Amino acid sequence: MRGSTPSRVFDQSVMLAGAALGAVALVQFVLSSQTDDLKYFLGVPLVMLMGWFPMLIGRTGGGIEIAFDSCVLIFLGIVATPVQALAVWSVGLALGQILTDKRRSIKAFNTGLGVLAGGLALLALDLTRGMHGTKQELLAVGLGAAVYFLVDFVVSALSLSIEERTSIRRELAPTGVLPSMIAYLAIASLGYLAALVVEAVVVEAMPPWSAALLAVPMATILVASRAQSRGS
């Protein structure tokens, strides 16, 4: 039976855990007195925009949506502290879900899961950069993106398994997951590229208009994702 008590308990636990983590990050961010930085204001609408064009990964009995907003998460993880990045990510994610036409329970679950996955991804990114130094940032970016993808995928599989009363092994069956993960890592690397460009512009190593060139690959990704979702 759909909507069983175990399913609600699991989904609500994910939602509450994500809400608590996001709230703590947001409070610390506000208290840091750094809320006037332009990149934080731009981060929220970018998370919302990239989240509106998800990629559908096939599953038994349905599918899960993996959005391309990971590139914004990685960008924030490079140019800001983990707490600041998570605060902006949480706000953008929540507002993006609010504006969708999905059921409130799905919005809450998606937001909670996204915040949890984002928090773990930022932690992995930060720890890897700290362990290996700035020369290994690309490795850190890949690890952070992989953590986000896997957390989102596995928790979604658990939710479906409980709701549909199916085997977790069945929900984790690799139906195009590996190619999707490779594409996901490539999308995340765009966020790293954006961070490099922005940092170069800040130190005047590149002209300000260089940042505008990032709109080309981002627009291409969004259009391709939109076409893929309509054709699914």
Token pair, residue 35, equals 């809320």
pLDDT value at residue 65: 64
pLDDT value at residue 2: 46
Residue 64 has pLDDT above 70, yes or no: no
Write the pLDDT tens digit of every residue in 188-221.
Answer: 888 888 888 877 766 665 666 666 666 666 666 6
Of the candidate ranges 6-15, 126-135, 140-149, 187-196, the one whose mean pLDDT is the lowest: 126-135
Percent of the chain residues past pLDDT 90, beyond the cut: 30
Its pTM stands at: 0.83
Contacts of 65 by beta carbon, 8 Å cutoff, 6+ apart: 54, 55, 56, 57
The most confident of 39-43, 114-118, 227-231, by mean pLDDT = 114-118
Residue 130 has pLDDT above 90, yes or no: no
Residue 125 has pLDDT above 70, yes or no: yes
pLDDT value at residue 4: 56
Mean residue pLDDT of the chain comes to 79
Residue 119 has pLDDT above 80, yes or no: yes
pLDDT band at 137 (very low <50, low <70, confident <90, very high): confident
> Is CATH 3.30.420.10 correct for 5-231?
no
Each domain of the chain, given as residue ranges in start order, spans: 5-231
Backbone angles phi, psi at 137, to 5 degrees: -60, -35
pLDDT band at 60 (very low <50, low <70, confident <90, very high): very low
